[in-house]
Amino acid sequence: MIYAGVDIGSRAAKAALIRDDEIISSVIRDTGAESIKTSNQLLSDLLDNTGIKPEEIDYIVATGYGRVLVPYANENVSEISAHAKGINWYFPSVRTILDMGGQDCKAINCDENGNVTNFIMNDKCAGGTGRFLEMIAEVLNVPLEEIGELSLQSGGKIPFNTICAVFAKSEALRYSRKGVACSDILAGLHEAIATRSYNLLKRVSLETDFSITGGISKNSGLVASITEKVQMEPRLCEDPQLCGAIGAALFARDKCASAGVRAKMQYGYDDATGSYYITVDEGLCDGCGKCVGICPAELFSYVQRGGIKVVEIKEGARKRLPTLCSGIEMCGDKNGGITCQKVCSANAIEHSW
């Protein structure tokens, strides 16, 4: 089955598409001024080059501050829950998360299943958020994506007593005009943000393992400052900015599993050697079992979905379909015209390659 998670943040919109337990597509773009338009474009970008149509997505969960504005979402969850779920998928040992977003910062505790057990949020002040760092990068005339590495080259960081967006901006400008190196200004600001993040983390329970999520965690200089302050090496996932979207997609997956949603299940894969898929439409399947009895490769087995008996392709066979199934034509030739598709009067089985 295919699930999508959409995370409409204040600065960036993210989406992830998963099939069972594998990320098959992801996308990040600016949120822009119109959340609905952004949501629609995001979905189109997400499905680009996947060969998957919107109607083939079984369930979509939205998260982020703009989650209620995603017109095609089946439901929504808070970004706190989504980040905990997402990080738990990558690192089940993580118990403390610092989510640093575009306009707020959150400290979160979660349990071994990715359920939120405690959180605290700083959304009253822009200091230390993505927007704040964008502003500082503009003032110093340094590309945003370079400020992390630049700060690591500092030979003597400038202490900042505040990261109040207004005061820190004018202080940074004053130092810059005095000829202080950008690397020293940035290193000082990162340290001030790290101190503030540490104070936020202390208000929940700072337990191992620890992770940082959100777009700001791509800033290597800030991550280094936080690591030093917290005295704990954070576990960073492949793209920490996507963590909320992945978490939302996992909520979609769990929702379908617990509700026993019957939908079109596609099995198989494609790789360099080609592709082969068998689709069972569980909404049509009546569990008659004819396909189970006649398949010479014994690919089908029964499963209960939502209290109803349907069939699925056996777990161990899913990655070997091209070698196990000889294909409709050849299978029919060998078996006097009898194939799974032929015996299924419900038209629930399709083969594609």
To the nearest 10°, report the CA torsion of 264, 269, 275, 277. -20
Task: Please give the DSSP secondary-structure letter assigned to residue 63.
Answer: E
The reply on whether position 265 binds ligand SF4 by CB under 6 A is no
Query: Which of helix, strand or coil describes residue 282?
Result: coil
Stretch that binds ligand SF4, among 40-48, 218-226, 228-236, 277-285 (CB under 6 A): 277-285
The reply on whether position 283 binds ligand SF4 by CB under 6 A is no
Among 90, 146, 346, 353, binds ligand SF4 (CB under 6 A): 346
Per residue in 233-242, is it b (16+ CB within 10 Å) or e — as a string?
ebbbbebbbb
For residues 123 and 103, the answer to whether their CB atoms sit within 8 Å is yes
Within 10 angstroms of residue 165's Cβ, the number of other Cβ atoms is 17
Question: In angstroms, what is the minimal distance from the CB of 318 to ligand SF4?
Answer: 12
The reply on whether position 317 binds ligand SF4 by CB under 6 A is no
The reply on whether position 289 binds ligand SF4 by CB under 6 A is yes
Question: In angstroms, what is the minimal distance from the CB of 3 to ligand SF4?
Answer: 23
Task: Read off the tokens for 194.
Answer: 């790290």
The reply on whether position 26 binds ligand SF4 by CB under 6 A is no
- Tokens 């773009």 belong to 29
The reply on whether position 288 binds ligand SF4 by CB under 6 A is yes
Question: In angstroms, what is the minimal distance from the CB of 18 to ligand SF4?
Answer: 25
Total residues belonging to the chain: 353
Question: In angstroms, what is the minimal distance from the CB of 293 to ligand SF4?
Answer: 9
The reply on whether position 286 binds ligand SF4 by CB under 6 A is yes
The reply on whether position 325 binds ligand SF4 by CB under 6 A is yes
Among residues 75, 42, 44, the alpha carbon closest in space to that of 58 is found at 75
Among residues 83, 81, 63, the alpha carbon closest in space to that of 73 is found at 63
The reply on whether position 280 binds ligand SF4 by CB under 6 A is yes
Site residues (CB under 6 A) for ligand SF4?
A: 278, 280, 285-291, 295-297, 299, 311, 325-326, 328, 331, 339-340, 343-344, 346, 348-349
